[in-house]
């Protein structure tokens, strides 16, 4: 019997893009059937161009910084871009996969990517904004698969 | 140890070694052996877990200072 993994991806920052794609691609490698339901900011991860994903240190005291930096400093324009640049450099230096690579791995291994139709409408996204091969659906669509899954995670 | 295909996953971090290994196994015949070289310290546990869950046989695991080399026999079906 094939095991099943159902994920909800609700965040659209560079750092939070990792957990759903890492877990989904790995589960697929372990022969799981995998569905990811992308909702709210998570929808960003299905756009054709995801090279502009960012990470923000603002309001995130858990983020390791080279020097201690109060929120007031992190508010300065350009700080977010700088933090993103530093994170991307670290990612490359440490041999961590890019989000594009992980998403491609998911698609190649048959992970089903579902865009939340309500959020698409809410944010005025167009179907052509997204990569090909995805599906559109609502909460009931998610539960059809989640209800018979072995693992369900909200990210 | 004899092998049918070699995979260099050195310098790659989780989950890439496992994803490459999965791809490598897809490219060999059932019963053949894949050799995988890794430097990710997490690979030691991950490759054991991968084999346990997928049914491929972990024939050997040789750890040296910075590297771990795995030999994996592809499952029968």
pLDDT in tens, A24-34: 999 999 999 99
Nearest CA in chain B to A101: B16
Mean pLDDT (chain A, rounded): 94
- Among A101, A85, A75, A74, smallest CA distance to A18 is for A101
Strand partners, B9: B38
pLDDT at B7 > cutoff 90: yes
Structure tokens at A144: 């059809």
Tell me which chain B residues have a C-beta less than 8 angstroms from the C-beta of A95: 11-13, 16, 40
- Number of Cβ pairs closer than 8 Å across A and B? 37
Report how far residue A15's alpha carbon sits from residue A84's, in angstroms, rounded to the nearest whole number.
Answer: 9
Q: From the list B11, B12, B54, which residue is nearest A31 (CB)? A: B54
pLDDT at A143 > cutoff 90: yes
Residue A74 has a pLDDT of 87
Span A32-87, pLDDT tens digits: 999 999 999 999 999 999 999 999 988 888 888 888 888 888 889 998 999 999 99
Percentage, residues of chain B above pLDDT 90:
96
Burial B23-61 (b: 16+ CB within 10 A, else e): ebbeebeeeebbbbbbbbeebeebbeebbeebebeebeb
Fold of the CATH domain B5-73: Translation Initiation Factor IF3 (3.30.110)
pLDDT at A155 > cutoff 90: yes
Residue A62 has a pLDDT of 87
- Whole-structure pTM over 0.80, yes or no? yes
**CB atoms B18 and A97 under 8 Å:** no
**CB atoms B15 and A94 under 8 Å:** no
**Is-contact B3 B33, C-beta < 8 A?**
yes
Tell me which chain A residues have a C-beta less than 8 angstroms from the C-beta of B12: 95, 97
Burial A24-45 (b: 16+ CB within 10 A, else e): bbbbbbbebbbbbbbbbebbbb
> Domain extents for chain A?
4-52+98-154
Tell me which chain A residues have a C-beta less than 8 angstroms from the C-beta of B53: 30-31
Nearest CA in chain A to B22: A29
| CATH superfamily name and code, A4-52+98-154 | DsrEFH-like (3.40.1260.10)
**CB atoms B18 and A29 under 8 Å:** yes
Angle at A50 between CA A44 and CA A54, to 5 degrees: 80
- Band (pLDDT 50/70/90 cuts) for residue A132 is very high
Active site residue B21: no
Of B11, B13, B14, B67, which one is the catalytic site residue? B14
Region A8-19: what's the mean pLDDT?
A: 97
């Amino acid at each position: 019997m094939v095991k099943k993994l159902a994920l909800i991806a609700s965040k659209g920052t560079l750092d939070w893009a990792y957990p759903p794609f890492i877990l989904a691609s790995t589960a697929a490698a372990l022969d799981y059937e995998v569905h990811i339901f992308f909702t709210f900011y998570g929808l960003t991860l299905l756009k054709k161009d995801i090279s502009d994903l960012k990470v923000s240190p603002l309001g995130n005291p858990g983020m390791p910084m080279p020097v201690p930096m109060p929120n007031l400093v992190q508010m300065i324009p350009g700080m977010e871009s700088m933090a993103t640049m530093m994170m991307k450099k670290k990612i490359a230096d440490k041999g961590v996969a890019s989000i594009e690579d992980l998403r491609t791995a998911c698609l190649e291994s048959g992970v089903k990517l579902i865009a939340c139709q309500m959020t698409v409408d809410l944010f005025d996204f167009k179907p052509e904004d997204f990569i090909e091969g995805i599906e559109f659906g609502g909460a009931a669509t998610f539960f059809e698969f989640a209800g018979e899954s072995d693992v369900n995670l909200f990210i | 140890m004899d092998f049918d295909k070699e995979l260099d996953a050195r310098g790659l971090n989780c989950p890439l070694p496992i994803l490459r290994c999965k791809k490598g196994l897809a490219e060999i015949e059932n019963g053949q052996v894949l050799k995988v070289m890794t430097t990710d310290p997490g690979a030691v546990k991950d490759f054991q877990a991968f084999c346990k869950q997928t049914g491929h046989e972990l024939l050997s695991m040789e750890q040296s200072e910075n590297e771990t080399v795995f030999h994996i026999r592809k499952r029968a079906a």
